[in-house]
Amino acid sequence: MKVLVIDDERAIRYSLKEILEMEEYEVDTAENGDDGLKKADATRYDAIFCDIKMPGTDGIEVLRLLMEKGIESPVIMISGHADIQTAVECIKSGAFDFIEKPLDLNRILITLKNATDKANLVSQTKILKKKVYGQQMIGESEGIRHIREMVAKVAPTDASVLITGANGSGKELVARALHQQSNRSMMPYVEVNCAAIPSELIESELFGHEKGSFTSAIKQHKGKFEQADGGTLFLDEIGDMSLAAQAKVLRVLQERKISRVGSDKDITVNVRVVSATNKNFQEEIAKGNFREDLYHRLSVILIKVPTLDQRKEDIPLLVNHFLDQICSESAMPRKEFTPEAVDMLVKKQWTGNIRELRNVVERLLILGDSPVSAQNVRDYVI
């Protein structure tokens, strides 16, 4: 593990370096704030010790700049002249901990272990979230760049978002990106496929039910709104929801309260609702299949996801991405695609969008030659 010590006192720098090297840490030192910032920019440290009182750029300023740069190494502030107010200011500014001089060996080692344990936990959480929520949107087409810009602007707010687009175009990926980039990212992300739930069960699924409220209700059940409390609820294919359920969803959006099936007790929930549909809502509203007032509640922000045929320039990037993904998940040997094979995939009409492209890449990995040729595409795809 690598540690950086920033302190203008030579004796402190080298005593800390000696102590930590005895514990088998790899230690770099910096005699001032500017030198420390340069080293933290160039090297990924598992922890940083930083003195507060230094000539030039002091420790508080170093801490602030480290936070601004997005450097994720835990920072442990040290000082012999600080008071409680300074310590509180450091913690509020993002420091992991604060240690007073003269430095105590046991305190140093315990604090360092706690800091590195936390850093490892944060790193593992990010890896796990990538597995759960998937990778970021792949592509450099104008349509995808526009969606990324929209997500960056909208995610930090609590505005309801309606995502429209064809089946398989990646609406779920946009919803996950909105959650990941929001202030709710550490809270639950709950998905509901409204088209997959029978109309008679949708209310129980969304709002929960009390024991005995209907024949098969053998115990109390918390609905998706309660499960997503504090986080994001993604209502996929909301255009298939029954009118009765629509009325209750509208009430939740207006009042931020739900009541379980079989109960008259209101439960307050704090949920950001993101919904998606492959239907034309104006037509559905005209037919009486969807409530217009609910549509306006859901569509504070509208994001339209382009079809794959509308972003063909992204296909080579997507093919490469799916190759990496499938080979990693299935422990399959990687096969490259010849330029002619990729060109044929670009020219193909993709009625199934991204989902169809991924299936085709997997099929060609299994059945195709190495490298995958244009003839393989003709044999197994076209």
Give the domain CATH number at 296.
3.40.50.300
Give the whole-angstrom CA distance, residue 321 versus residue 302: 27
Task: Answer yes or no: do 172 and 66 share one domain.
Answer: no
Enumerate residue ranges in the chain where pLDDT < 50.
131-134
Give 100's strand partners.
79
Render pLDDT for 194-248 as a digit per residue (tens, 0 to 9). 988 887 788 889 999 888 877 777 788 889 999 999 999 999 999 999 898 899 8
| Domain membership flag for residue 135 | no
- Looking at residue 127, its pLDDT comes to 53
- Looking at residue 128, its pLDDT comes to 56
| Whole-Å CA distances, 331 to 151, 323, 335, 343 | 33, 11, 12, 26
- Looking at residue 124, its pLDDT comes to 64
Task: Write the single-letter amino acid at 191.
Answer: E
Render pLDDT for 251-267 as a digit per residue (tens, 0 to 9). 999 999 988 888 888 89
- Looking at residue 85, its pLDDT comes to 81
Secondary structure element (H or E) that encloses residue 46, with its range: none
Render pLDDT for 92-114 as a digit per residue (tens, 0 to 9). 888 999 888 888 888 899 999 99
Task: Answer yes or no: do 295 and 322 share one domain.
Answer: no
| Domain membership flag for residue 137 | no
Task: Answer yes or no: do 165 and 300 share one domain.
Answer: yes
Averaged pLDDT score across all residues of the chain = 90
| CB contact burial 353-377 (16+ within 10 A = b; e otherwise) | bbebbbebbbebbeebeeebbbebb
Q: What is the extent of the structural domain holding 337?
A: 309-380
| Domain membership flag for residue 81 | yes
The full DSSP string for 128-141 is: HHHHHH-PPPP--S
